[in-house]
Amino acid sequence: MIANTCTLRLLAPGDKDSWKYLWRRYLSFYSTIRDDALYEYTFQRLVDTRHPGMFAFVAENQGQLVGLANCIVHEHGWYQESVVYLQDLYVDENQRGKGIGRLLIEKVYAYADQTGKASVYWMTQPGNLTAMALYDKVARKTDFIKYQR
């Protein structure tokens, strides 16, 4: 199992090209395209430790990034503590089914526990059945439906 050989760590400045490749693939899955300026802007916020509102973990195997978890920390009206929104979770198509997604979620959970966050949450599309099979094992599905302007 590849998960045993993966290194999970914070995203680093030298990861930009590999992260950008993975994030483009993630956005493509959701039929989304963004301009290069947004990739640069988002990457800088994720790696800047002076910007505590965003961070990312990556999974690395044999020197290659094979997964990412981009997160946003924010206040919540139902808790005194902040919460973590796991905005983007992606594992390279060739590495799926090997436990990497679970490890990335568990890494975010560990961060939340170590830093006193009230909760970790994320969303997915109802047709993302492969991902939901994992999510059903590591989290509780809520009854909320997202609305957006």
Identify which of 83, 71, 69, 84 has the alpha carbon closest to the alpha carbon of residue 131.
Answer: 69
Where does the pLDDT of residue 1 fall: very low under 50, low under 70, confident under 90, or very high at 90 and above?
very low
How many other C-beta atoms lie within 10 A of the C-beta of residue 112? Answer: 20
Where do the domains of the chain lie, and which CATH numbers do they carry? 2-138 (3.40.630.30)
Mean pLDDT value of segment 10-37:
93
Percentage of the chain modeled with pLDDT above 90: 85
pTM to 2 decimals? 0.94
Q: What is the mean pLDDT of the chain?
A: 94
Calpha distance 58→12 (Å, rounded): 9
As a whole number of angstroms, the distance between CA 43 and CA 82 comes to 22
